[in-house]
Amino acid sequence: MPRNGDFNEFRQRYPVFSYDGFTVERADGRVRIRFDFSIPGLCEFHPETTINTDKLALLNRFDSADARKILFALGLVEAVSYWKCVCSPRFIVRCGALSDADKGWWKKLWYHGLGEFFYQNGIETSFEHFVKIECDFKPERKEREIKDEYRTSGLNIIPVGGGKDSCVTLDLLKDIKDSTLCFTVNDQPARTQTAAVAGYSPEKILKTTRQIDKELLQRNKEGFLNGHTPFSAIVAFLGLYCAHITGAGNMILSNESSANEATVGGTEINHQYSKSYAFEQDLNDYMKRNFGGRTNYFSLLRPFNELQIARRFAALKQFHPVFRSCNIGSKNNIWCGRCAKCLCVYIILSPFMERRELLDIFGHDMLEKEEMLKDFEGLAGLSEVKPFECVGTVEEVRCALFMVAQKYAASGTDIPFLLKKYSENSEAGCMKSPAQLLGEWNPENNVPEKFKKYITEMYDYVSATD
């Protein structure tokens, strides 16, 4: 239901959102960060993030001037989750300075990162008008900056979400695991288990916990605006802070080229914006301008599409019992079997795995689920809007369906409901051949030279013809 009236009313009632400050302290084997936001006339928010450091060697001070620059930026991306409940036209930063270039940078991240939020809430706005970022930073006295000489450790940090993509990255980089830390935000069983399967002991998993302020949850109950925010940008800045204090030189993501595709056809609205190459490029520019560019931030899987990653993952059978990509079932460590994410992963893996293997993982034949026809049509490009999930592109899904249909035709078995519906649709068809998609290479990537051998190995495997 359109909420543009609510949007305008909230903006009039609450014209200012304020980023008031942040604190960081270390005690009891943890670094604890608290951010202070406020909406005058409504409430304050004080979300917290903790980093488990009891088994972690910190080469650089957790509260140095450079470390605080990263935390200040982390607060700017955390703020969007709280700002969005009223969408104040003025965002006032009271705890740090921003150049005009930086204000433009943050405005771009917020606008594109909130594209889904605006769309789902029926909000009509523009980049120019949705918010004005202002700085009102007037310290009463000059604080003594805590400075130290930056030291490097040679470590790598790999964010692990527990899905197939991070499993592929962990396997590709198995020969450097001794110099690598896994990194998790709000740890769940699949994340710890996939790291363990990849050979990482508990002390090699850098665990962080992000807590949403209960005041925001209360505002949501009261009917204030709610919706999707660029969570992967939070992972990015929190990971960069962890890289700073540990002296890690590389933060290695597992975002594929498919993350660049818009979710709503004919627009720039992308559920995965903060996983896109555009954001990766922007973040590297921001890091060089503000943090000295000490850490390489890149996705090892950026040269590849979802179909290629699925082909590689299908062979990594050690991960099959433990990986999870379902957001709905994540807290219970299950595949819910009723969401678009479950359906897409099932489809993408189907050309490369036997049906019985898929049933062992999902517990259902997702292609037999008649109630998922709407999500299926979105995934296959038979409607303009893809499901708002981290899913493959239309051409990848169609190619996977083409390959699965061939398997059924060769076996002579009955075609499942959704596949039959697709085959009967006049708009259906394979946009690119399997050989074309499996042989693709996306040159828009930031993979450093020293890591090229791993993506060459990956490409040789996924592009090989039978």
CA geometry: angle 400, 274, 430, nearest 5 deg: 15
Beta partners for 43? 39
3-state secondary structure (DSSP) of residue 330? helix
pLDDT digit string, tens, across residues 100-126:
999 999 999 999 999 999 999 999 999
Indicate the pLDDT class of residue 247, thresholds 50, 70 and 90. very high
Residue 437 has, within 13 A of its CA and on its CB side, a CA count of: 26
422, 428 Cβ separation under 8 angstroms: yes
In angstroms, rounded to a whole number, what is the distance separating the alpha carbons of residues 462 and 458? 6
365, 400 Cβ separation under 8 angstroms: no
Check pLDDT > 80 for residue 138. Answer: no
130, 271 Cβ separation under 8 angstroms: no
Average pLDDT of the chain, as a whole number: 93
95, 22 Cβ separation under 8 angstroms: yes
Per-residue pLDDT, averaged over 357-370, amounts to 95
pLDDT digit string, tens, across residues 274-295:
999 999 999 999 999 999 889 9
Task: Dig out the tokens for 343 from the structure.
Answer: 């359906």
Distances (CA, A) of 112 to 269, 270, 274: 7, 8, 9
pLDDT digit string, tens, across residues 177-199:
999 999 999 989 999 999 999 99
pTM above 0.85, yes or no: yes
> How much is the pLDDT for 146?
59
Query: Which amino acid is it at 335?
Result: W
Could you state, in order of their start, the residue ranges of all structural domains in the chain?
Answer: 4-139+151-299, 306-440
Our separate counts of H helices and E strands in the chain read 17, 11
Residue for token pair 């949501």: 220
Indicate the pLDDT class of residue 456, thresholds 50, 70 and 90. very high
Check pLDDT > 50 for residue 1. Answer: no
Interacting residues of 347 by C-beta distance below 8 A, sequence separation 6+? 366, 367, 379, 392, 397, 400, 401, 404
Per-residue pLDDT, averaged over 162-190, amounts to 96
Per-residue pLDDT, averaged over 333-355, amounts to 95
109, 282 Cβ separation under 8 angstroms: yes
Indicate the pLDDT class of residue 5, thresholds 50, 70 and 90. low
Distances (CA, A) of 335 to 38, 124, 351, 372: 38, 35, 20, 15
Per-residue pLDDT, averaged over 421-450, amounts to 88
The full DSSP string for 124-161 is ---TTTS-EEEE----SSPPPP----------EEEE--
Nearest CA-CA partner of 34 in 19, 52, 50, 16: 50
Distances (CA, A) of 85 to 26, 43, 117, 211, 233: 31, 11, 11, 17, 19
> How much is the pLDDT for 2?
39
The full DSSP string for 161-222 is -SSHHHHHHHHHTGGGGGGEEEEEES--HHHHHHHHHTT--GGGEEEEEEE--HHHHHHHHT
In angstroms, rounded to a whole number, what is the distance separating the alpha carbons of residues 89 and 163? 37
Indicate the pLDDT class of residue 387, thresholds 50, 70 and 90. confident
Distances (CA, A) of 338 to 5, 217, 342, 348, 376: 33, 25, 7, 16, 11
Nearest CA-CA partner of 63 in 177, 170, 172, 144: 144
End-to-end CA distance of the chain: 50
